[in-house]
Structure 1
């Protein structure tokens, strides 16, 4: 059998080398091994501050492992974190049953799976997250790629009665400009499913580090953008047939979250909703229905 042997994982290389490293490099190496995600997303200076080390120690560590410098080691760590599945969507289309009307069978199976998935969403978890949204000074909503539509839906519904408090991350420019605006007392809702977008994970990390309340709408407990979340709202994405994971549960959670937050707002939320409705009517935003 021919072929090249698989390249060792940079983390495995690091852990194997730890016993032979000088004490200070061993401490930096242990920090990188325990915080490999941060090592791929944060600057060397930031890492050094958190680790209580000299930034140059990260360069020395990389060279001790056989890399030209920290940038090369960081690139290797980033590459190692990439999903091994190169075709997360087309791969789902394999193995569908055949028959005279396979498309009808697919739609029927999909409806059945979507309905079953909705019954497994936790109402108590959504209600608990709604309390955090209601109490928040500002509400940030982060959804990227296919999850952008869910984020925009939640943003729209919340703005009907919290118009001054709700903002899409990246809605008015590059999302990284908003990450520095997260503050303690804010709520940050991050939406994602596998394969997870880098932007969603970075947004969740920024929310957690800022002290804001992180609310994750995700497909798995182990989702990287759910790490550190005070509220985790799970939906089923992969169980539904079809070439693309399902967003039905995420949409249901978003709408339920908005509805529960409105209920918690009481008369004040109702008054703001009525003011919004009056403004929309005055600007003729809807087509008038005729009898």
Structure 2
């Protein structure tokens, strides 16, 4: 486990394997970071109705030696945390004056999300994921609902250099047919955010059952697909709008693509050049 992993990342990776009481403690830890960082264990136990011993067991389950080590991790996270500006749709509708500052508010939220993710993400873990995808027999991408376009964008980038990457569930390529062809050595990359797409959750489980590695990108450690994921990323998605922001998701995807290409042999560059040349021959690009 990387030393730079945030408390939230540790919870997200291990949440599905926690007992009911440990999950209750974990929920309180993530919902009340200021209390965890600043109050005594006895006070925290009294407010949460969870025993001090349970919080100590949670700390060990997350890889910390003691509760105090987990408390220090919460303090560090608070130092990096960017407060959300969320007011949601009704407030936006009810107060037209907010429109005048919307660009600034949206920009600040997205920049804050990106800074938080960059500061708290273990880059060695990113490198492991990039290596796994680069060496996979095949990579299947899937996104549903609002995440559909994100998966399509990743597929567009990947098809410049990786003919063994597939976008499932689009353009006649059914999700079921792709899962049926999976096995060991394959990777499934899934993007789903709250409210979670049912097909994404089921696809993650089916892929894991046949031995494929599952990489999950979501916005909550409570995503039910976490129990099937080999690697899970919880990306900050806070926004002043009624919808979640995908800014960090794009940063993560573009970073992984860049790492995959950077670690590839020279044939990746040649493949990109061939695709680009064919696009030009087909007149795909506008020219004066």
TM-score using structure 1 length: 0.63
Shift of the alpha carbon at 1:92?
A: 3.2
Partner of 2:253: 254
Shift of the alpha carbon at 1:167?
A: 0.5
1:197, 1:98 → 2: CA distance?
Answer: 30
1:220 and 2:220 matched: yes
1:199 and 2:195 matched: no
Partner of 1:181: 181
2:168, 2:246 → 1: CA distance?
Answer: 19
Higher radius of gyration, 1 or 2: 1
Shift of the alpha carbon at 1:104?
A: 2.5
Equivalent position SS for 1:120: helix
Equivalent position SS for 1:284: coil
2:145, 2:98 → 1: CA distance?
Answer: 29
Count of residues paired in the alignment: 198
- 1:57-82 alpha-carbon deviations (Å, 9 max, x no partner): xxxxxxxxxxxxxxxxxxxxxxxxxx
1:92, 1:196 → 2: CA distance?
Answer: 19
The answer for unaligned runs of 5 or more in structure 1 is 1-33, 35-90
Equivalent position SS for 2:204: helix
2:247, 2:104 → 1: CA distance?
Answer: 15
1:110 and 2:110 matched: no
1:144 and 2:107 matched: no
Equivalent position SS for 2:188: strand
- 1:1-55 alpha-carbon deviations (Å, 9 max, x no partner): xxxxxxxxxxxxxxxxxxxxxxxxxxxxxxxxx9xxxxxxxxxxxxxxxxxxxxx
Moved more, 98-107 or 137-146: 98-107
2:272, 2:285 → 1: CA distance?
Answer: 16
- 1:96-134 alpha-carbon deviations (Å, 9 max, x no partner): 597673112233222101111112222613332111110
TM-score using structure 2 length: 0.64
1:256, 1:168 → 2: CA distance?
Answer: 19
1:194, 1:286 → 2: CA distance?
Answer: 36
Larger RCO: 1 or 2 (CA < 8 Å, sep 6+): 2
Equivalent position SS for 1:141: strand
Contact 1:153 1:254 (8 Å CA) reproduced? no
1:223, 1:146 → 2: CA distance?
Answer: 15
Contact 2:167 2:173 (8 Å CA) reproduced? no
